[in-house]
Amino acid sequence: MNDTANIDWRPYLVVPVLVALALPAMSFSTWITLTVAGAAMGMMLFIMASGLTLIFGLMDVLNFAHGAFITIGAYIAVTVLGSMSSLVTADSLALNLLALLAAVVVAAVATGVAGWGFERVIVRRVYGSHLRQILITMGGLIIAEQLVIALWGPQPLLLAKPAALRGSFVLAGAAIEKYRMVAVALGLIVYAAMHLTLNRTRIGLLVRAGVENREMVEALGYRIRRLFVLVFVAGTGLAGIGGVMWAVYQELVTAGIGSEMTILVFIVVIIGGLGSVTGCFVGAVLVGLVANYVGFLSPRLALGSNILLMVAVLLWRPRGLFPVGRE
Amino acid sequence: MPERPLLTLDGVHTHIGPYHILHGVDLVVPEGQLTMLLGRNGVGKTTTLRTIMGLWRASGGSVTFEGARIEELGTPDIARLGIAYVPETMGIFTQLTVRENMLLATGPKGFDEARLDNIFVTFPVLKQKWNDAAGGLSGGQKQMLAISRAIVEERRLLVVDEPTKGLAPAVIENLIEAFLRLKATRTTILLVEQNFHMAESLGDTVAVMDDGRVVYTGRMADLAADEDLQARLLGFSLAAHQ
């Protein structure tokens, strides 16, 4: 039996407390709408950021090119959904979800393969040097964006949501966007899958150990570089899936869609605690909720709300909500 | 009859950044014996162990294990030869449970129940804390876990760095008993230690380091019996530090 008495529950209470505090400040229906919108945004952010937190936590690699894989995922969504217009426009939820699933799978595979190449060709040369990592991955982001423009053209591309996922339904007097429920469901599935993988498999055990003390993992006979390549591929694949979900949500795709999300993704990773998947999940939901609540209550503060959130969290817990111990 | 050497360091030099730490270390670890590596703080004992494990690369000389050169191998490959390492920091994964820490050191088949039972006889507290987070263990319990993790599978050589550092005397006695049990199984051990009671209790052979090289090798019993030699090599006598 785990020693639950030693668990610090306070970080888990941040989201419920925030949701409860927001209720008196608005009508009940608005509160439901904004809470679901915040949760959906949080889930999409989590999918994009979860790989980055492991990439940083496991190998101390600052990958500023992470946004490039979000962009590639978004453009693949345009291509795949564009080529499956009969499924996208069909008045059938099952066929619509099938088209979305196809886009998610193709994007995950493509960005995973791209991530493998990126790690082998670029990232492996700059292990141990944060400055070189920042410079080379920023360069990678710029090159990737230009390649995207060369392949798909410079003009913004429109992307319609699948027919059955457009519009809203009413719950307790509040309008809930259907697509947001899909995003919430997918985010929960990704979190559950990552949680199970990390806690119930040998590879997950190695990743958790490596995040904490990679030198000791090597001293136990494991080649952590190989493990890292696997995590890098999974992380970039998840970024691609996040790119698909975000593109369909925005219904407009530009070459800068990934780099625009980079700051938010880094805020999520920092708030959650570098290397913590649960922290990333809670941090993403927190960022999504704050963006929506503040956007409604005080639009002037909306742009800076997430920076203020990060400052507040770090003042309280300098290593993030769920710090991962490292020797 | 002298035991055959299991591990041999021949003229090993190690640089860490601009610093030249090891200046030609010569060391022989005989098979089936417990070799103490002694010396004052900062003379290169930990660097020697880390160089053996490939955690720092030797810039000169050779490291030979069971007749094969290993100084060019990576740390995982060295570990896979059957060399277990317990660092000074213990290297415990605090976010993992005791069981998960141990599981990482096992092969694909998982735990050997008989070995595990033996470990629990030596360190019963680990059985009680089996599913607890290792971060919640006391310093002594973490050291027990670190040593248990090193022996949860059969190893050719244990490399252990200052296991008694910061521990209470009762815990140290417990560790001495554990190492005596290991010695009884003819496990080869290279042990860095500052606690001279432990060194005297356990050591078969001894190597003393100074300024990045080994300046004395011999039988531990001879060093323990010669206070002048202790004073000359270590700057004090073992008796004064028991």
Q: For residue A327, what pLDDT is reported?
A: 40
Phi, psi torsion values for A160, nearest 5 degrees:
-85, 145
Residue of B nearest to A206 (CA): B104
CA distance B220 to A290: 66
CA distance B211 to B165: 22
Residue type, B79: A
CA distance B203 to B169: 19
Per the CB < 8 A criterion, the answer to whether A130 and A62 are in contact is: yes
Token digits for A312? Answer: 């507040």
Show Cβ contacts of residue A219 under 8 Å, excluding neighbours closer than 6 positions. Answer: B53, B55, B75, B79, B85, B87, B91
Tell me whether residues A2 and B132 touch, CB distance under 8 A: yes
CA distance A325 to A273: 10
Among A54, A198, A218, A278, which would you mutate to test the B interface (most chain B Cβ atoms within 10 Å of its Cβ)?
A: A218
E strands in chain A: 157-158, 168-171, 174-177, 252-253
Task: Quick: pLDDT tens for A105-154.
Answer: 999 999 999 999 999 999 988 888 889 999 999 999 999 999 999 999 99
Range in A24-28, A51-55, A234-238, A289-293 the model is least confident about: A51-55
| B158 interaction partners in chain A (CB closer than 8 Å) | none
From the centroid of its chain, how far is CA A146? 23
Which DSSP string do the residues of B59-95 spell out, in sequence order? EEEEEEETTEE-TTS-HHHHHHTTEEEE-TTTT--TT
Residue type, A242: G
Confidence class of residue A2 from pLDDT cuts 50, 70 and 90? Answer: very low
Confidence class of residue A95 from pLDDT cuts 50, 70 and 90? Answer: very high
Phi-psi domain of A282 (left: phi exceeds 0; alpha: psi -120 through 50; beta: other):
alpha
Residues pairing with B158 in the sheet: B84, B189
Task: Kindly list the strands in the beta sheet with B205-210, ordered across the sheet, starting from the edge strand earlier in the chain.
Answer: B83-86, B157-161, B188-192, B34-38, B205-210, B213-219
Query: Per CB distance under 8 Å, which residues of A are interface residues toward B?
Result: 1-3, 6, 205-206, 208-209, 212-213, 215-224, 324-325, 327
Task: Quick: pLDDT tens for A20-76.
Answer: 999 999 999 999 999 999 999 999 999 999 989 888 877 788 899 999 999 999 999
CA distance B34 to A92: 74
Tens of pLDDT, residue by residue, chain B (242 residues): 467 899 999 999 999 989 999 999 999 999 999 999 999 888 999 999 999 999 999 999 999 999 999 999 999 999 999 999 999 999 999 989 999 999 999 988 889 999 999 999 989 999 999 999 999 999 999 999 999 999 999 999 999 999 988 888 888 888 899 899 888 988 999 999 988 888 989 999 999 999 999 999 999 999 988 888 888 888 755 554 54
Residue of A nearest to B87 (CA): A216
Tell me whether residues B93 and A209 touch, CB distance under 8 A: yes
Phi, psi torsion values for A58, nearest 5 degrees:
-80, -40
Tell me whether residues B100 and A217 touch, CB distance under 8 A: no
Tell me whether residues B75 and A219 touch, CB distance under 8 A: yes
Per the CB < 8 A criterion, the answer to whether B122 and B181 are in contact is: yes
Question: Is the pLDDT at A263 greater than 60, yes or no?
Answer: yes
Is some CB atom of chain A closer than 8 A to the CB atom of B138? no
Partner-chain residue, chosen from A3, A205, A324, that has the shortest CB–CB distance to B104: A205
CA distance B172 to B177: 9
Q: For residue A258, what pLDDT is reported?
A: 94
Task: Quick: pLDDT tens for A153-178.
Answer: 999 999 989 999 999 999 888 889 99
Q: For residue B237, what pLDDT is reported?
A: 52
Distance (Å) from the alpha carbon of B146 to chain A's nearest alpha carbon: 11
From the centroid of its chain, how far is CA A219? 32
Per the CB < 8 A criterion, the answer to whether A57 and A205 are in contact is: no
Phi, psi torsion values for B56, nearest 5 degrees:
-125, 135
Q: For residue B220, what pLDDT is reported?
A: 94
Per the CB < 8 A criterion, the answer to whether A172 and A32 are in contact is: yes
Show Cβ contacts of residue A215 under 8 Å, excluding neighbours closer than 6 positions. Answer: B55, B75, B91
CA distance A225 to A223: 6
Q: For residue A325, what pLDDT is reported?
A: 61
Task: Quick: pLDDT tens for A141-156.
Answer: 999 999 999 999 999 9
Question: Is the pLDDT at A294 greater than 80, yes or no?
Answer: yes
Residues in chain B: 242
pTM: 0.84
Give the pairing of strands B205-210 and B34-38: parallel
Which DSSP string do the residues of chain B spell out, in sequence order? -PPPEEEEEEEEEEEETTEEEEEEEEEEEETTSEEEEE--TTSSHHHHHHHHTTSS-EEEEEEEETTEE-TTS-HHHHHHTTEEEE-TTTT--TTSBHHHHHHTTS-TT---HHHHHHHHHH-HHHHHTTTSBGGGS-HHHHHHHHHHHHHSS--SEEEEE-TTTT--HHHHHHHHHHHHHHHHTT-EEEEE-S-HHHHHHH-SEEEEEETTEEEEEEEHHHHHH-HHHHHHHHSS-SGGG-
Is some CB atom of chain A closer than 8 A to the CB atom of B125? no
Distances (CA, A) of A302 to A35, A280, A289, A292, A316: 16, 21, 11, 8, 22
What's the Rg (C-alpha) of chain B?
17
Tell me whether residues B55 and A212 touch, CB distance under 8 A: no
Partner-chain residue, chosen from A6, A217, A324, that has the shortest CB–CB distance to B136: A6
CA distance B49 to B238: 23
Residues pairing with B68 in the sheet: B65
Task: Quick: pLDDT tens for A183-206.
Answer: 999 999 999 999 999 999 999 999
| B131 interaction partners in chain A (CB closer than 8 Å) | 1-3
Distance (Å) from the alpha carbon of B118 to chain A's nearest alpha carbon: 21
Q: For residue B194, what pLDDT is reported?
A: 84
Q: For residue A1, what pLDDT is reported?
A: 41
CA distance A64 to A43: 21
Q: For residue B20, what pLDDT is reported?
A: 95
| A223 interaction partners in chain B (CB closer than 8 Å) | 74, 76
Is some CB atom of chain A closer than 8 A to the CB atom of B131? yes
